[in-house]
A and B are shown apart, each in its own frame.
Chain A
Amino acid sequence: MNENGIENQLRRLLRVQPSPHLDQRLNMLFRETGAARSSILMRSVPAWMATAACLVCTVAGLGTRSLFIPGRNPPTVVYVLPPNEALTRFLAGPKASRRDNFDFSRARVEVIQPPAPQGGEL
């Protein structure tokens, strides 16, 4: 008898069958695991807890939002000295009319009058 012959003879041997009890045990195991899984899903977070968590997260999110969004800078103040109306108009006017990179769109132009010379003093 060669190797194949032995294999064939072996394959034809009747093997001991597992008892029906094993099937019962395994079926129960699968069923219980499935049921346990379902019950875990069913008794998941209650609606009120989910809502509360959602509210807390929203408040916390809004609170931390300001930390990440930079505040607007106060407007630039440009002092024009000595007083020059043409320059004031030029700076406060549209940027397109200038050939520089300065943005004075939010600038506040203040024209400062120099103090009047005080005469009669020695």
Chain B
Amino acid sequence: MNEAFVERLRQCYEANRQELYTYSLTLTGDREAAEDAIHNAFQRLLRRGSAPADLRPYVFRCVRNAAMDHRRQLKRREDSIFTLTDDNGPSHTPGVHVELKQLLTQLSEDERETIVLKVFDSLTFQEIARVREVSINTVSSWYRRGMEKLKTLWMEEVK
């Protein structure tokens, strides 16, 4: 391990801080556990001393592994990844966001995780496939199915 590797990881953390936290919180459902998982993931990465050239999906995968470890150890909580207050400017449609937050919880874990990675963390399907160690087809299927469900649930809510 060298200084450059530590610096590379630090830059990766700083560039993806919010995204990693959102992802970790999606998996753990617990704010403290989400932070612990990120800390543990980087601790493991530093101990390992090397990482592939395409660092971003690899770090997400490490955070996922750490978050899953935490989830196994702790009783599952349901801390939302969203803040309770909405402050989204004048074009914000009242009620829409609150309902979407709730609808998101009705998706399967795979669907929710994929949507979070795609929409909030801006990962490509290819990167998500690497994080989850599944095929791109599976990832796109989870995403499509999740979005369809959201759409259907949303339409039902509107009615």
Residues of A within 8 A of B (CB): 1-3, 6-7, 9-19, 21-23, 25-26, 29-30, 33-34, 37-38
Complex partner residue of B6 from A6, A18, A34, CB under 8 angstroms: A34
Q: How large is the interface on B (under 10, 10 to 19, 20 to 34, 35 or more residues)?
A: 35 or more
Selected from A9, A18, A22, the residue in CB contact (under 8 A) with B100 is A9
Chain B neighbourhood of A34, CB < 8 A: 3, 6
> In the complex, are the beta carbons of A33 and B119 less than 8 A apart?
no
Is the C-beta of B67 less than 8 angstroms from some C-beta in chain A?
A: no
Q: Report if B87 contacts A (CB, 8 A).
A: yes
Q: Which of B39-47, B123-131, B133-141 contacts A (4 or more CB under 8 A)?
A: B39-47
Contact status of A3 and B18, CB under 8 A, knowing A15-B82, A29-B46: no
Interface residues of B in 35-87 (CB under 8 A from A): 35, 38-39, 42-43, 46, 79-83, 85-87
Is B151 a contact partner of A33 (Cβ separation < 8 A)? no
A6 contacts B82, C-beta separation under 8 Å: no
CB pair A30–B35 under 8 Å, yes or no, is no
Given contacts A22-B35, A25-B35, contact A15 B13 (CB under 8 A): no
Report if B21 contacts A (CB, 8 A). yes
Closest CB in chain A relative to B46 CB, distance in Å: 5
Chain B residues near A23: list those with CB within 8 A: 17
